Amino acid sequence: MKTSSPSTYREAAVAGIDSAQLQKSLQGLQNRFGKGAMELWAGMADQEMRDRVKESRMKTFEHLDIVLAELAKNVRARGGQVHFAVTAQDAVNYTLAVAKKNEVKRVVKGKSMTSMEVDIDPALEQEGIEVVETDLGEYIIQLAGDRPSHIIAPCIHLNRNQIGRLFTDKLGIDFTEDPPTLTMAARKALREKLLTADMGLTGCNLACAETGMISLVSNEGNIRMATTMPRVVVALMGMERVVATMAEHRETLQLLTRGAALQKLSTYVSFLGGPASKDDPDGPREFHLVIIDNGRSRILADPEFREVLACIRCGACLNICPVYGKIGGHAYNSPYCGPIGAVVTPLLDGINKHADLCKGETLCGACKDICPVKNDLPRMLSALRHKLAYGSDRWNTRQHNPAEARAFRVWRLLVTRPFLYRTLIGLGRIVQRPFIGKEGTIRKMAGIAAGWTAGRDLPPVARRTFHQLWKEKYAGNRPTAPTIETPEEK
Amino acid sequence: MAGKTVSLFIQCLVDTMFPQVGEAMVAVFDRLGVPLAYPAGQTCCGQPAWNSGYRREAAAAARHFIEVFEGAEVIVCPSGSCVHMVRHHYPELFEDDPAMAAKARAVAANTFEFTQYLVDVLGVTDTESRFSGSVTYHDSCHLSRGLGIAMQPRTLLGNVRGLKLIEMRDSDTCCGFGGTFSVNYPEISTAMVDEKIENILATGADGVVGCDISCLMNIEGRLTRRGEKVKVLHIAEILAGLRGGDQ
């Protein structure tokens, strides 16, 4: 997986927080789409649909091999070619081979996170093949040499002024901040690319095993052009994108467009299932479906994390997460950002490598509420932290922070021995004295607590704990608590 | 009002840094005539270890908690996140130990958050409290999303004489505390609490009220650092009438 920026989560987070413009964009995004999705779910007449889709997703995973075989069979029956890629490199190699065989000079892309995950663009470019993103947001990102910062709205971190300057620089148009004018300039440039491309390269929103068709949603029509104009089309699909039946497909798609953009249906839904034929003359001469594992089997095999494969990549969790809402997408240093990225990136690309993603949330639970398939992301973040706490052979994970682990072992001694615990509180009361300021609070501390006092005051240990106050003021004339008599308390 | 003896489960932060909140809870229960007990062996519910992934250590704390509280008629705590820990995570911690799991489930089912116990169990919606001033209410995450408790505190506040409740924007957005998150990622945490504070200030209320002292400690710590005058109060303090707006 491409992880281009060397900056750590915290550093990139600070950069995001310090950008007034990003803050404004994120606030606008979350106010509209986050709140909008919550209202949409609350007002949906069919309140069981989300549970039903989740159930069908999980049921499909129980026999994913059979469902994928059915999909492959039905795509092949229509003359399409199917390749199962075990790794990202495998997917890249296959796509390159298809491009070379067909003497492809120019590739037009439909928006695809999976293509970023396998990092296909540099491999194509190294072979002298021009790669052009055709989703407006992704096109802007490509022109700017930047990285997407949102799954659905990749250039949410750029404003119209920046985009205007970028277009002046890269497309040679007069400077304007007018969105329609900018869009028309991009449209003109992209049309030329779309009309002359040799290969279309897309992702896959959903694949239906029953029909042998994959479906792609867009609001710009770029995917329709990118999959019908070029001679060759390659679709990259994470192996969990599949649904078994058309009925399941219909409901899953409805949740996807609602979660992503509050739409009952996107402007375009393209169904692809093979090359052009006598009955269906529009379309490419070759159609390839690349079904990618790249670590998904390991997730599938672990009951603790299997649920994350049910994600339909709508990005709704980004639109409500209070952490994403402050730091933006770049801090996650992954094609998958926000709460879903914080869970799926470590699972696909290494838990130790992405430890900050596992630990850098408050577990507030907003992502779980907004998720169209009710994925329990906080539960999985907690499970990831569990792997980091002790290490895990299954996940090739080593203990992340031995000092923290030692601290918690000491903490364990204290909280299971009331006498020791009470003694330490008494000690804390003495140790804190030099740190207490005039206002009666602690304004500066060292070590781990420095993180707290950098921006906040800390109240000191009280003169009398409740434990002491109870004994002195309240315990008399009350029924005795039925409690264990620990040796320390006797 | 007699009935079951309430065993007070005093969150560690309340015990050590905000004992007045525990005292306020005692005052409210005394006024209602609810018999009280305080199991002296209690320490911490184990939430910090759980949130950081240290499940063995969390299980040790949970085991201790269960030993201390398993004889209790009913357990009541002035903290939503601690109750959430006991109710939802204790049974998970002992999945591989059926005997402990049964005890954990029993304790879980018997543990209530303060306002939940007052409203849902005792049926008390008016504590005959007085407060002079306006407040806004912060929905803490584990309380509102985890336990589904949002109306109970509002109902109680609504019946406090002299108290004006002004709702803030995004009252259920996380304040940025998140346990060790607040010290490991202070910049993100502070940015989040700053937004919470902007929403509090925008109400013009004299104070902000909540049911979780950890969130309130985060909010208060930032408010005082910024030099803001808004008061921070645990709901028990309001219901006890121990601290007033301009009293």
Set of chain B residues whose Cβ sits within 8 Å of the Cβ of A418: 40-43
B246 belongs to a structural domain: no
B178:A439 CB<8 A: no
Q: Can you say whether the dihedral through the CA atoms of B140, B145, B151, B152 is positive or negative? A: negative
Strands A199-202, A232-238: pairing is parallel
B221:A456 CB<8 A: yes
**Cα of B47 to nearest chain A Cα, Å:** 11
How many angstroms separate the CA atoms of A258 and A316, rounded? 9
A368 touches chain B (CB under 8 A): yes
B55:A389 CB<8 A: yes
Task: Assess contact for A227 and A268: CB atoms under 8 A.
Answer: no
**Cα of A326 to nearest chain B Cα, Å:** 7
**For chains A and B, what is the number of CB pairs under 8 angstroms?**
223
Chain centre to alpha carbon of residue B176: 16
Give residues with Cβ within 8 angstroms of A159, minimum separation 6. A21, A25
Average pLDDT, chain A: 94
The answer on B116 and B129 residing in a single domain is no
The answer, yes or no, to whether residue A481 has pLDDT greater than 90, is no
B154 belongs to a structural domain: yes
Q: Can you say whether the dihedral through the CA atoms of A144, A146, A150, A152 is positive or negative? A: positive
A119 touches chain B (CB under 8 A): no
B56:A390 CB<8 A: yes
The answer on B134 and B105 residing in a single domain is no
Set of chain A residues whose Cβ sits within 8 Å of the Cβ of B14: 466
Q: What pLDDT is stored for residue A1 in this prediction?
A: 53
Task: Assess contact for B14 and A466: CB atoms under 8 A.
Answer: yes
Confidence of residue A8 (pLDDT cuts 50, 70, 90): confident
**Cα of B192 to nearest chain A Cα, Å:** 7
The answer on B13 and B95 residing in a single domain is yes
In chain A, what's the furthest Cα-to-Cα distance? Answer: 93
The answer on B106 and B143 residing in a single domain is no
The answer, yes or no, to whether residue B246 has pLDDT greater than 70, is no
Confidence of residue A144 (pLDDT cuts 50, 70, 90): very high
Best mutation site among A362, A452, A478 for testing chain B: the one with the most B CBs within 10 Å?
A: A362
Total domains in chain A come to 2
The answer, yes or no, to whether residue A490 has pLDDT greater than 90, is no
The answer, yes or no, to whether residue B71 has pLDDT greater than 60, is yes
What's the pLDDT tens digit per position in A317-370? 999 999 999 999 999 999 999 999 999 999 999 999 999 999 999 999 999 999
**Cα of A329 to nearest chain B Cα, Å:** 13
A459:B18 CB<8 A: yes
Among candidate residues B72, B104, B120, the one where a domain is terminated: B120
Among candidate residues A236, A271, A294, the one where a domain is terminated: A294
For residue A295, CA distances in Å to A77, A121, A289, A345 come to 28, 20, 18, 10
A379 touches chain B (CB under 8 A): no
The answer on B93 and B141 residing in a single domain is no
Q: Determine the 3-state secondary structure of A290 from DSSP.
A: strand
Instruction: List the beta bridge partners of residue A84.
Output: A291
What residues make up the domain containing A477?
A: 417-489
A17:B26 CB<8 A: no
B51:A464 CB<8 A: no
**Cα of A328 to nearest chain B Cα, Å:** 11
Residue of B13, B47, B43 lying closest to A419 (CA atoms): B43
B163 belongs to a structural domain: yes
Q: Determine the 3-state secondary structure of A285 from DSSP.
A: coil
HEC readout, A385-449 = HHHHHHCECCCCECCCCHHHHHHHHHHHHHHCCHHHHHHHHHHHHHHCHHHECCCCCECCCCHHH
The answer, yes or no, to whether residue A487 has pLDDT greater than 80, is no
Set of chain B residues whose Cβ sits within 8 Å of the Cβ of A359: 52, 180-181, 184-185
The answer on A290 and A430 residing in a single domain is no
The answer on B201 and B164 residing in a single domain is yes
Of A1 and A6, which is predicted with more confidence? A1
Q: Out of A323, A388, A482, name the one closest to residue B188 (CB).
A: A323
The answer on B110 and B11 residing in a single domain is yes
Of A439 and A224, which is predicted with more confidence? A224
How many angstroms separate the CA atoms of A150 and B85, rounded? 32
Q: Out of B41, B68, B192, name the one closest to residue A322 (CB).
A: B192
Confidence of residue A4 (pLDDT cuts 50, 70, 90): very low
Give residues with Cβ within 8 angstroms of A187, minimum separation 6. none
Residue of A184, A90, A86, A171 lying closest to A136 (CA atoms): A184
Residue A419: left (phi > 0), alpha (psi -120 to 50), or beta?
alpha
Task: Assess contact for B61 and B44: CB atoms under 8 A.
Answer: yes
**Cα of B55 to nearest chain A Cα, Å:** 7
A463 belongs to a structural domain: yes
B1 belongs to a structural domain: no
Confidence of residue A483 (pLDDT cuts 50, 70, 90): very low
A416:B60 CB<8 A: yes
Q: Out of A439, A473, A489, name the one closest to residue B40 (CB).
A: A489
Among candidate residues B88, B120, B152, the one where a domain is terminated: B120
Q: Out of A322, A441, A486, name the one closest to residue B174 (CB).
A: A322
Structure tokens, B9: 């489960």
In chain B, whose CA is at the least distance from the CA of A485?
Answer: B41
Q: Out of A362, A462, A474, name the one closest to residue B174 (CB).
A: A362
What's the pLDDT tens digit per position in A50-82? 999 999 999 999 999 999 999 999 999 999 999
Q: Out of A448, A467, A474, name the one closest to residue B26 (CB).
A: A474
A418:B40 CB<8 A: yes
Average pLDDT over residues B120-142: 96
Best mutation site among B82, B85, B181, B187 for testing chain A: the one with the most A CBs within 10 Å?
A: B187
Task: Assess contact for A347 and A297: CB atoms under 8 A.
Answer: no
The answer on A269 and A134 residing in a single domain is yes
Lowest mean per-residue pLDDT among A35-49, A274-288, B21-35, B105-119: A274-288
Among candidate residues A254, A273, A294, the one where a domain is terminated: A294
Give residues with Cβ within 8 angstroms of A293, minimum separation 6. A84, A85, A86, A87, A239
Q: What pLDDT is stored for residue A488 in this prediction?
A: 46
A10:B177 CB<8 A: no
The answer on B44 and B66 residing in a single domain is yes
Instruction: List the beta bridge partners of residue A85.
Output: A292
B156 belongs to a structural domain: yes
Structure tokens, A158: 């750029």
Set of chain A residues whose Cβ sits within 8 Å of the Cβ of B182: 451-452
How many angstroms separate the CA atoms of B12 and A317, rounded? 32
Structure tokens, A314: 């709508």
Q: What pLDDT is stored for residue A123 in this prediction?
A: 97
Q: Out of B15, B182, B224, name the one closest to residue A466 (CB).
A: B15
A326 touches chain B (CB under 8 A): yes
How many angstroms separate the CA atoms of A324 and B4, rounded? 45
Secondary structure E strands in A203-249: 206-208, 213-218, 232-238, 242-243
Confidence of residue B1 (pLDDT cuts 50, 70, 90): low
The answer, yes or no, to whether residue A237 has pLDDT greater than 80, is yes
Match 């409500």 to its residue by tokens: A320
What residues make up the domain containing B27?
A: 6-120
How many angstroms separate the CA atoms of B152 and A415, rounded? 31
A15 touches chain B (CB under 8 A): no
**Cα of A351 to nearest chain B Cα, Å:** 13
Set of chain B residues whose Cβ sits within 8 Å of the Cβ of A34: none
**Cα of A109 to nearest chain B Cα, Å:** 35
A363:B178 CB<8 A: yes
B22 belongs to a structural domain: yes
A406 touches chain B (CB under 8 A): no
A475 touches chain B (CB under 8 A): yes
Average pLDDT over residues A392-400: 97
Q: Residue A58 maps to which CATH number?
A: 3.40.50.10420
Strand order in the sheet with B207-210: B161-165, B130-137, B207-210, B231-234
Among candidate residues B120, B147, B179, the one where a domain is terminated: B120
How many angstroms separate the CA atoms of A54 and A327, rounded? 29
Q: Can you say whether the dihedral through the CA atoms of A213, A219, A224, A226 is positive or negative? A: negative
What's the pLDDT tens digit per position in A424-479? 999 999 999 999 998 889 998 887 788 899 999 999 999 999 999 999 999 986 65
A458:B221 CB<8 A: yes
Residue B113: left (phi > 0), alpha (psi -120 to 50), or beta?
beta
Q: What pLDDT is stored for residue A482 in this prediction?
A: 47
The answer on B227 and B140 residing in a single domain is yes
The answer on B230 and B209 residing in a single domain is yes
Q: Determine the 3-state secondary structure of B166 from DSSP.
A: coil
Task: Assess contact for A391 and A397: CB atoms under 8 A.
Answer: yes
What's the pLDDT tens digit per position in A88-121? 999 999 999 999 999 999 999 999 999 999 999 9
What's the pLDDT tens digit per position in A374-388? 999 999 999 999 999
What's the pLDDT tens digit per position in B168-222? 999 999 999 999 999 999 999 999 999 999 999 999 999 999 999 999 999 999 9
A246 touches chain B (CB under 8 A): no
Strands A206-208, A130-133: pairing is unpaired
The answer on B140 and B66 residing in a single domain is no
A412:B49 CB<8 A: yes
A466:B37 CB<8 A: no
Burial B95-108, CB ≥16 within 10 A → b, else e: eeeeebbebbeebb
How many angstroms separate the CA atoms of A275 and A250, rounded? 23
Percent of chain A with pLDDT over 70: 96
A342 belongs to a structural domain: no
How many angstroms separate the CA atoms of A71 and A68, rounded? 5
Total domains in chain B come to 2
B82 belongs to a structural domain: yes
The answer on B236 and B135 residing in a single domain is yes
Set of chain A residues whose Cβ sits within 8 Å of the Cβ of B10: 466-467
Task: Assess contact for A150 and A318: CB atoms under 8 A.
Answer: yes
Cα dihedral A309/A315/A321/A327 (nearest 10)? 110
Q: Out of B10, B35, B60, name the one closest to residue A478 (CB).
A: B35
The answer, yes or no, to whether residue A485 has pLDDT greater than 90, is no
In chain B, whose CA is at the least distance from the CA of A446?
Answer: B183
In chain B, whose CA is at the least distance from the CA of A14?
Answer: B187
Instruction: List the beta bridge partners of residue A243.
Output: A208
- Other residues' Cβ atoms within 10 Å of the Cβ of residue A422: 19
Q: What pLDDT is stored for residue A446 in this prediction?
A: 80
